[in-house]
Amino acid sequence: MKKKRIKTLSFMKDIAWSELSFGYMPTDYNVRCCYRNGKWGEIEVCSDEYIKLHMAATCLHYGQEAFEGLKAYRCPDGKVRVFRMEENAARLQSTCRGIMMPELPTDIFVEMVKKVVRLNQEYIPTYESGATLYIRPLLIGTSAQVGVRPAEEYMFIIFVTPVGPYFKGGFSTNPYVIIRDYDRSAPLGTGIYKVGGNYAASLRANHLAHEKGYACEFYLDAKEKKYMDECGAANFFGIKNNTYVTPKSTSILPSITNKSLMQLAEDFGMKVERRQIPEEELATFEEAGACGTAAVISPISYIDDIDTGQRFMFSEDGKPGPVSTKLYNHLRGIQYGTEEDKHGWTTVVIE
């Protein structure tokens, strides 16, 4: 096994993997598939980072755009694994239904993920570095039109880039702030879909949070401003009385990481509650965190409500709590093949 691993690593790019930030770095190939005349075409391999796009494309004018995010992990056993990519395919299909785009079949999605990872395997960071290969599927409407209606043609692309931790400190606590003056998405709107417009709507509040010294902003529900919604671009969870509690809302993106953590919490014998969480309930949580593909878990040290002056503390010593740590380590262990994958979440794409 050691010989196999040394052979694999000898073909890697000369990159300071442990110094990577969460940002874009060019790789050698991306893969593409186009939808024309009512059907998906052949998968194409491309070395061009750019897209030739008509200026009247619907993705530019009417927001017909969807994306996903997942990762490939170089594991201690020398294999490369991808985590729950069928779930990403299913979530993309849900988004397609929501904004009137043709659904990409799961088998095409999976084949393209495997192909782009294998083509760029020299860019998959070492296990010891803590960095990963980020996989970004993107679907855009490409038809040239000026009327508000769904496009007739689409392009699906997957590119990859090696990334370091989403937050500079990695798995460490961060402060959050409740901002009432902005909403990320509306109830019954596009919040449950992974579309760029939701993220554009969060940029202003995120900028304000950073200006005030916080890692990220926290949104209350847009309708009543009473219930916890999302933290920036991530799902929220709280821990109390051996229970994992996460919001239920029609404006929250269904996080695959959160779904996985709920299952692991149940595996650990915890109760799981998915329900509305009034802001005042924050005072009762022993731990709290934001979760998503990029950071897995970002433990929250405290949440400030600058309108009321109240601070909700979740870490007295500035360290992640024991339950968050246990969940984080176990999920990362599954992703890297060091813990039993009893739910069949990972796929080996390179032996």
Map tokens 């969460």 to a residue.
Answer: 22
Whether 282 and 238 have beta carbons less than 8 Å apart is answered as yes
Up-side HSE of residue 40: CA atoms within 13 Å toward CB? Answer: 19
Residue 2 has pLDDT above 80, yes or no: no
| Mean pLDDT of the chain, nearest integer | 95
pLDDT at 233: 86
pLDDT at 5: 39
Pairwise CA distance, residues 80 & 107, whole Å: 19
Whether 80 and 72 have beta carbons less than 8 Å apart is answered as yes
pLDDT at 172: 93
Residue 106 one-letter amino acid: T
Model confidence at 9, in pLDDT bands (50, 70, 90)?
Answer: low
What's the rounded mean pLDDT across residues 245-255? 96
Task: List pLDDT tens digits, range 260-295.
Answer: 999 999 999 999 999 999 999 999 999 999 999 988
pLDDT at 11: 74
- Contact partners, residue 117, CB within 8 Å, separation at least 6: 72, 80, 82, 124, 133, 135, 160, 349, 350
Q: Can you give the pTM of this predicted structure?
A: 0.94
C-alpha closest to that of 252 among 225, 278, 228? 228
3-class secondary structure per residue, 217-286: EEEECCCCCCEEEEECCEEEEEEECCEEEEECCCCCCCCHHHHHHHHHHHHCCCEEEEECCEHHHHHHCC
Tokens coding 50 = 């750019």
H helical segments located in the chain:
2-9, 58-61, 85-98, 106-119, 196-200, 203-211, 256-267, 322-335
Supply the angle between the helices 85-98 and 106-119 in degrees, to the nearest 10. 130
Residue 116 one-letter amino acid: V
Supply the angle between the helices 256-267 and 322-335 in degrees, to the nearest 10. 110
C-alpha closest to that of 256 among 346, 124, 142? 346
Model confidence at 227, in pLDDT bands (50, 70, 90)?
Answer: very high
Task: List pLDDT tens digits, range 174-212.
Answer: 999 999 999 999 999 999 999 999 999 999 999 999 999
pLDDT at 166: 86
Of residues 170 and 69, more confidence is placed in: 69
Q: What angle do CA 328, 67, 21 make, to 5 degrees?
A: 50
